[in-house]
Structure 1
Amino acid sequence: MNSPPTPTFNLLHEPWIPVRPVNGDPVREVSLRELLVDARSYSRIDDPSPLVTVALLRLTLALLHRALRGPNNLEQAAEWFRNGFPAETLETYFQTWDDHFDLFHPERPFWQQKSAKKEPEQYHWSLLSPELNGSNTTPVFGTKKRAEAVAGKSAVETTVRTWLGSTSPAQVARLLIQNQSFALGGRVTGASDSQQGGPVMSKALFVATGPNLHETLCLNLLPYPADMAEVDRAVWEWQAEGQDRTVGAGVPLGYADRYTWLSRSILATPEPTTPDALHTLGYGAGVARVEDTDQGQSLEPMAALVSRMVENKPTLMPLKFNLEKLVWRDLQAILPEPQNQIYVDAKGKVIRVPGFAPLTIQNAARLLEIVNDTAHGESIVQVHAFGQILGDKAGKTSAFRHESYALPLPLLQDWERGGRHIDAAFKEAKLVGNALMNATLRLAAEVVSRGGEREPHKDDVRNLAQTLPGLGAYWAALEAPFRGFLAGLDVPDEAAAAWRESVTREARAAWAMNVQGVGGDGQVLGFAFRPRRTDGKYQPSPQGILDRALASLNAAQRTNSTAPEVPS
């Protein structure tokens, strides 16, 4: 009796990467080779999951670095931008490493690692997807937890398998790459200790994009010096060399190593009789990594560094997404002179700690400056931000985020032509936002104390203030005016004036919501407008706190000066 053929799914030749063609045709799947050879034919990689989209882009950048051993410098990157990648060099690399891209190779399955156990634990394929099963705790859509509720923990794998069934090799490949990049930290079955998350588990990743995928790749393909190219390895390369990286924590060797880090030992196992339908996979601990912050800098090219207080010391940390605010409020972090975080020490000394813009955004600005010297290039750069927002417990994903911003190119190249105006705009919005928050706290104190009849408890004041919607509405309403402000920076004075009008309007609207939220009747209006003296000291009314900030904002507009600095 003949045995069934060995399953195979070669990522260089099989369609599996979703792309959107530039001609407007529907999204379709292409092979990794086709993606690179015909990159100008596609506008972008376009998976429903933002994590998959950016993880596939990172894989593609790693492959280009290793296949082309470059770009050596920005000039070579500009040549590739105009004329395309060296086709023969790519084809030679594809032929050399062809079988290493087989998802089901019996000895070298792509970006996977066999377990040392004779009978490794098997899990349903949905374990790779944080939308479905997450890590060891609550996933976004709760399949695993719902299965436990229905069938109990002992039968959860069988129940999930019944609900979700099998999936295709193409889907497993996409989820595998996503998981290696964004794996959640925590306990992994078979490991003695909790495991690190993936290299970009909780970082906000910034990518510059062009009108087609080829230009996007060039914009984010950093100069690859010869000394890095010599030691760097993508995962398929160092595994082929037989390296053992399981002992101790390692520092990524270069960009390709970082982009293809083996965060988990995963092994996809197709059914012998139905190789196109995959049910289970092995899942275990991967290669430990020295964290970026332990080195005092971020080696992650797509991340921005911002200053945060860690153990009472200003420390540069990768910017993360936040459920409470969109990334536009931290957009200074990607500008040529990233935002200064301002601290005041115990002696009153002001300390400024500058951040560090993502290398990908710095690279895109410099490359476009070269390209635009010889051609009419884009004056607007699309910057996309991708990331995962963690929950309050290890192993939990709260949300994914994908945001995009159209930024004038000079904004990314010249602080004086754009960055300083954005810095001033954020300070103005923050000044008014702080005043709105303080006014809301004062109003809550007046309401809880009944106009000063009794001493309010601070917890009661805080709890009431947190129920009022104004502050959140204020920041949410400013997103659209901010995009308009960015678009109008070619005439900065007019853009700044329109921005201040928006800040004033939205602050007034937010304050009205808060007043209405605590009753809005005559008594509440009295609390809102009545100043008081406490221990002989004059205290402005809650309304007066906001009015003073808006008066300062309008004075800045009349004098065409920047807003005062607001300590963090």
Structure 2
Amino acid sequence: MATFNLIDEPWIPAVDQQGAAREVGLREALVDAHLLSSVRHASPLATVALHRLMLAVLHRIFGPRDPGEWVELWRQGQWDGAALQDYLDHWRDRFDLFDPVHPFYQVPQMPDAVTHPPEHLMLEAASGNNATLFDHHHERRRVPLRAADAACYLLAQQSYAIGFGKSSPFYFSDAPLVRGFTVLIHGETLFETLMLNLQNYTPTSRDLPAWEDDAPREPDRDGTLPRGYLDYLTWQSRRIHLIADGDPPYVIGCQIQQNLKLRGDESDPFKVYRSDKERGMVPLSLVPGRAVWRNADALFHLPEATRMGPQDQSTTPPRSFRWLSVVRQQARGSTVELRSVYRFGVYGMATQPGKAASVVLWAQEELPLPLDLLDDAQQVHDLADGLGLAERAGSIERRAVQHLASLLLTPESDLQDGRRADPKAIHSLAEHMDPTPDYWAALGGTFGRFMVGLTVDRVPALQEWADAVRIASIDSFGRLVRSLGTSARELKAIVRAERAFRLWLNSEVSEWKERVGYESAQPA
């Protein structure tokens, strides 16, 4: 009989403090968390799922019930190995991937279920309706999966399985993390990372992690409410059974059916929420072509309307950020100190509009987390102001490209009685020439420094950011015009469009600099 116990078998992809990658068992990952740098899987979805599993175990053993308990855990600098050992030993059989009665995160074999190739576990693989993203397998190949890999993909499947498609006893529904993105705070060690994401938790008799549940609930097409935070962290959205063969065991097939449908929108502590007039608070989602940093102000407390307009009148930052602000205040009254800057990662996927089952983007993005931004409203307003300037400069650049396209198509279009080109033709040409992806990429490289700078010295940070916005815009527009031809018609259009662009951009940047409190820079 196949066996693969996740407590001791190496399966979690970890990096030690010397930068060497290796696989560790669940016990080693937690007991030696202070000796490991991070846990990171090739799939960003599996990375999130692995952290949620470890957090569920830690909450079950250590709480913490309040900020004081959290600070004491942080002070210790590592997890209590004996407590972890006792807990994992008690539930040892429930962590066996192939246990015949309680296979980890699964159900026993389903006699009437279809057996799929193992690639169906991999949300990023090319199987069924999934698009090929960063995977190059084909479902007909039926490539066996190592038990270690299957365990990671099993976790990701329970957290990120996409709704749509026939199943039993009813159609597939979305797993908890499909909508919106997840924010994880990163420390210097795995221990710090887990602590920074460990929030206050008070146990209840009803709230159990999946492996402790002796009476799993039946799927309900009307949805099921979580019994508590640990139930939610280990939510079983699919009935899955892995089919193994060999010694050591490899997964050669899998059965997947609908299990628990989440009722309503459970408030996830690692998501950002925005206000929607019709749907209430909904998770902020990834948008293809738009880096997460462009919405960084939504990650912090901004009570009134932001630069994005009336459709985003309020946002709620991750509860993990708010909790970190609380424990930071608690730590200030003790001998425990937190650093002024950590980092956070943003993980998730985006689906094609109107096609919920069509995934077009898997993302993992990292940014600095200056802790002062969690508490200082002025700094958050400055951050939003800086992002607003960047958005307006991007709009100016797009406007200038529209102007350039119009001049290229009809050179007299800027004259009072000049002939105008077809708006559709102008739009099509402008879209083809659009230089703003280069502009945003260049700004993304300096945004982290801007965030940190705001917490150190406001005026120089704002000055540097305004200059960075202006330079990035001028550079990307300049690359566009240099890529065009050198005919008299083209050169004439370039000169006129560039003159207008510089005038609009310099005016915007100068007015912004004056408003935020320092002298305007000299125009280009």
TM over 0.5: yes
2:404 corresponds to which residue? 443
Structure 1 residue 422 displacement after superposition: 0.9
1:150 corresponds to which residue? none
Is 1:207 paired with 2:184?
yes
- Counterpart residue type for residue 232 of structure 1: D
Structure 1 residue 556 displacement after superposition: 3.0
- Counterpart residue type for residue 269 of structure 1: I
The SS at the match of 1:306 is strand
Percent of residue pairs identical: 26
2:198 corresponds to which residue? 221
After superposition, the C-alpha distances for 1:8-59 in whole angstroms (9 at most, x for unaligned) are 111112221111112x052111111221122111111122222211110011
CA distance in 1, matches of 2:322, 2:308: 26
Q: In the alignment, is the contact (CA less than 8 A) between 1:265 and 1:285 conserved in 2?
A: yes
After superposition, where does 1:92-131 map in structure 2 within 5 Å?
Answer: 92-114=86-108, 116=110, 118-131=111-124
After superposition, the C-alpha distances for 1:61-102 in whole angstroms (9 at most, x for unaligned) are 11222233x211111111111114444443332233221111
Q: In the alignment, is the contact (CA less than 8 A) between 1:13 and 1:31 conserved in 2?
A: yes
- Counterpart residue type for residue 103 of structure 1: L
Q: In the alignment, is the contact (CA less than 8 A) between 1:436 and 1:546 conserved in 2?
A: no
Q: Which blocks of at least 5 consecutive residues in structure 1 are unaligned?
A: 1-5, 148-156, 293-297, 345-349, 531-540, 564-568
Structure 1 residue 134 displacement after superposition: 4.6
2:445 corresponds to which residue? 480
2:268 corresponds to which residue? 300
CA distance in 1, matches of 2:487, 2:264: 55
The SS at the match of 1:395 is strand
Q: In the alignment, is the contact (CA less than 8 A) between 1:139 and 1:396 conserved in 2?
A: no
Is 1:49 paired with 2:43?
yes
After superposition, where does 1:84-483 map in structure 2 within 5 Å?
Answer: 84-114=78-108, 116=110, 118-141=111-134, 147=138, 159-161=140-142, 164=143, 166-188=144-166, 190-191=167-168, 194-226=171-203, 229-238=204-213, 240-246=214-220, 248-271=222-245, 273-274=246-247, 276-292=249-265, 299-307=267-275, 315-337=280-302, 340-341=305-306, 353-373=313-333, 374-391=335-352, 393-416=355-378, 418-452=379-413, 453-483=418-448
CA distance in 2, matches of 1:517, 1:257: 56
1:63 corresponds to which residue? 57
1:153 corresponds to which residue? none
Q: In the alignment, is the contact (CA less than 8 A) between 1:113 and 1:266 conserved in 2?
A: yes
Structure 1 pair 432–235 and aligned structure 2 pair: CA distance change class (3 A): same
Structure 1 pair 481–459 and aligned structure 2 pair: CA distance change class (3 A): same
After superposition, the C-alpha distances for 1:218-261 in whole angstroms (9 at most, x for unaligned) are 111111135xx3432222223x1343344530122322222211
Q: Which blocks of at least 5 consecutive residues in structure 2 are unaligned?
A: 520-524
* Worse-matched range after superposition: 496-505 or 361-370: 361-370
Structure 1 residue 528 displacement after superposition: 5.2
Structure 1 residue 520 displacement after superposition: 5.6
CA distance in 2, matches of 1:559, 1:143: 52
CA distance in 1, matches of 2:429, 2:31: 59
CA distance in 2, matches of 1:340, 1:88: 50
CA distance in 1, matches of 2:411, 2:173: 51
1:497 corresponds to which residue? 463
Q: How many residues align?
A: 511
CA distance in 2, matches of 1:104, 1:314: 41
Q: In the alignment, is the contact (CA less than 8 A) between 1:135 and 1:184 conserved in 2?
A: no
After superposition, where does 1:14-29 map in structure 2 within 5 Å?
Answer: 14-22=9-17, 24=18, 26-29=20-23
Structure 1 pair 421–175 and aligned structure 2 pair: CA distance change class (3 A): same
- Counterpart residue type for residue 31 of structure 1: G
Structure 1 pair 223–142 and aligned structure 2 pair: CA distance change class (3 A): closer
CA distance in 1, matches of 2:384, 2:483: 32
- Counterpart residue type for residue 482 of structure 1: F
Structure 1 residue 368 displacement after superposition: 3.1
Q: In the alignment, is the contact (CA less than 8 A) between 1:556 and 1:562 conserved in 2?
A: no
Structure 1 pair 130–245 and aligned structure 2 pair: CA distance change class (3 A): closer
Structure 1 residue 487 displacement after superposition: 3.3
- Counterpart residue type for residue 141 of structure 2: V
After superposition, the C-alpha distances for 1:403-453 in whole angstroms (9 at most, x for unaligned) are 11123221223222x212211111111121112222222322333334235
The SS at the match of 2:113 is coil
CA distance in 2, matches of 1:454, 1:91: 80
Q: In the alignment, is the contact (CA less than 8 A) between 1:181 and 1:263 conserved in 2?
A: yes
Structure 1 residue 525 displacement after superposition: 4.6
Structure 1 residue 358 displacement after superposition: 0.5
2:522 corresponds to which residue? none
The SS at the match of 1:478 is helix
Q: In the alignment, is the contact (CA less than 8 A) between 2:218 and 2:260 conserved in 1?
A: no
Q: TM-score, normalising length from structure 1?
A: 0.83
Q: TM-score, normalising length from structure 2?
A: 0.89
Is 1:9 paired with 2:4?
yes
Q: In the alignment, is the contact (CA less than 8 A) between 1:390 and 1:397 conserved in 2?
A: yes
Q: In the alignment, is the contact (CA less than 8 A) between 1:440 and 1:514 conserved in 2?
A: no
